[in-house]
A and B are shown apart, each in its own frame.
Chain A
């Protein structure tokens, strides 16, 4: 370990302050979620809740609480989000793997235009897509059911999924793949049995990214799913905003629970995410 100099300690102090300010909203969310209503409406605000209260969590998980005016059961929203996000992940992987492989391994006319097409399709705002998609999906019977939202969410996740996976494929040496062909595998067999296991970190990053995209997606779910029994967690919280604005402990408990997948994924998979974002297609 390097010796700490005065300069490095100054930088540490600066970084601690900056990160402290950045993390404050997240800290405030979690700490509010474990406060009692009295503590929440205390002045000055209680910065460090003494004993955690779980009533906010009980309330959103549909367990009995003392507040009769509050009833919101997260379980249905969680189930819907799990279905939508899992299906989106699966569909994105199925579509992205062959495309990313071809973009990494073949030289063909149209490859660069296709990569540009992917870049531009990432920039399209979902609020612009949602209006015509609503009209089209309405006539196809894709409103108020899972498939419509899954298709739209997959379109959001797919371009980035292809770009990250392509970078993963590029890191596998071509001779290794050729050696496997010589040993008697077809291109698809080698891809499935040899190459895909080798790019597992890339696959995990893509799967997690696609899952999180669909998990937190807001506009499509808001517009396509009007039946409460089909809505995902993002809409569950949104309805909270209008209805139960004084139950901040429950609202922050709900927000904490739906943020956990993203925070955990980012802390664990930080390198893959950042690698996919920056190094991506340069390699």
Chain B
């Protein structure tokens, strides 16, 4: 479920406003210990379970940490050698390429479909609420269930997907989706797109609901049609929400592990190996914790760059708001 831990895109705007109020307040008032005591348990907990492992992982990435080190608790410091080894390994280049394809394709389709659905559901029609509820029904189901469902849908001989595609004459021969190298990556991408649609619909719907109605009324009076209104009003007004959704989409998609591991374990061969599955394999199959940590740190750096971009962007937006 981790890939769906949700994240409000406009949260930062509110935080910034609060920051101003709070700075003024705290300069005048006394510093109280009470709030820190309330925060402390959660802070210590998150530091121990999230903070320490990250720092420890960065440390391990500079060490020759293997299965033997796990027993002896000793691993020699080897500087950047893990990084150099990993970067020269063709497996890394392949995983990076797959990660880029997986992430871009997932985001483009999730966003486009999500945006279309959010636009549709922002208008009134019968059963709107019921259908919207159904549209979100798969949002929190365990990723392992998603994985098995799509394995069955993509089954070579009896899968629904091959049946529908051959019935519609879109393909002449059934495709061995997850068992063939060339179709495995598209198969896991499709499963991941399905997973991400509710998240995109929810965030974009919220953005649409916040748009001022009078602009649309004025445009209607001026004779604009629906398409013109979408392109010339909705898209520009929704720009900050859209960028926030895309950046969060990037962060949450680049780290996807569950669905891929469940459906293909990165295979067949290395056809669906992405950076997270490579990092996992290096640790838990090859027991080369040092190289695994090096891959993990590189993913972390990419994610942090995206996160900083997201935070800076939402902050800049706030100044114009």
Q: Which of A's residues lie within 8 Å of B, judged by CB?
A: 2, 4, 7-9, 11-12, 14-16, 18-19, 22-26, 28-29, 32, 40-45, 94-96, 98-99, 101-103, 105-112, 114-136, 138-139, 151-152, 154-156, 158-160, 162-163, 187, 209, 212-213, 215-219, 222-223, 233-235, 237-238, 240-241, 248, 251-252, 254-256, 258-259, 262-263, 265-267, 270, 274, 276-282
Closest Cβ–Cβ distance, residue A5 to chain B (whole Å): 9
Where chain B touches its partner, the secondary structure class is helix
Per the bound structure, the CA–CA distance linking A151 and B45 in Å amounts to: 9
Q: What are the residues of chain A within 8 A of B37 when measuring CB–CB?
A: 98
Say which residue of B26, B39, B117, B262 sits within 8 Å of A99 (CB atoms). B39
Per the bound structure, the CA–CA distance linking A15 and B201 in Å amounts to: 13
Say which residue of A14, A135, A234 sits within 8 Å of B289 (CB atoms). A135
Q: What are the residues of chain A within 8 A of B255 when measuring CB–CB?
A: 125, 127-128
Please give me the residue from chain A that is nearest to B11 by CB atom. A281
Q: What are the residues of chain A within 8 A of B65 when measuring CB–CB?
A: 135
Q: What are the residues of chain B within 8 A of A116 when measuring CB–CB?
A: 15, 311
Say which residue of A23, A218, A219, A252 sits within 8 Å of B148 (CB atoms). A252
Q: What are the residues of chain B within 8 A of A280 when measuring CB–CB?
A: 8, 11
The A-contacting residues of B in range 41-94, CB under 8 angstroms, are: 41-43, 45-46, 49-50, 52-54, 56-57, 60, 65, 70, 73
Q: Which of B's residues lie within 8 Å of A, judged by CB?
A: 1-2, 5-8, 10-15, 18-19, 21-22, 25-26, 29, 31-32, 34-39, 41-43, 45-46, 49-50, 52-54, 56-57, 60, 65, 70, 73, 117, 120-121, 123-128, 131, 133-153, 155, 157-158, 160, 163, 167, 194, 197, 202-203, 205-206, 251-252, 254-255, 257-258, 261-262, 276, 279-280, 283-284, 289, 292-293, 296, 299-300, 303, 307, 311
In contact, A278 and B39 (Cβ under 8 angstroms): no
Please give me the residue from chain B that is nearest to A105 by CB atom. B35
Q: What are the residues of chain B within 8 A of A12 when measuring CB–CB?
A: 125-127
25 contacts between A and B (CB under 8 A): A2-B124, A9-B126, A12-B125, A19-B135, A25-B150, A25-B153, A32-B152, A40-B158, A41-B158, A42-B158, A43-B163, A44-B163, A95-B41, A99-B38, A108-B22, A124-B300, A128-B300, A135-B289, A155-B49, A156-B1, A158-B46, A237-B142, A238-B147, A274-B206, A282-B14
Closest Cβ–Cβ distance, residue B231 to chain A (whole Å): 19
In contact, B125 and A8 (Cβ under 8 angstroms): yes
Q: What are the residues of chain B within 8 A of A107 when measuring CB–CB?
A: 21-22, 25-26, 29
In contact, B134 and A151 (Cβ under 8 angstroms): no
Say which residue of A132, A163, A277 sits within 8 Å of B54 (CB atoms). A132
Closest Cβ–Cβ distance, residue B136 to chain A (whole Å): 6
- With A41-B158, A107-B25, A133-B53: A127-B197 Cβ-Cβ less than 8 Å: no
Closest Cβ–Cβ distance, residue B163 to chain A (whole Å): 5
Question: What 7 A-B pairs have minimum CB-CB distances, sorted nearest first?
Answer: A216-B142, A125-B255, A102-B38, A278-B206, A106-B35, A155-B49, A132-B57
In contact, B2 and A136 (Cβ under 8 angstroms): no
Say which residue of A106, A213, A279 sits within 8 Å of B1 (CB atoms). A213
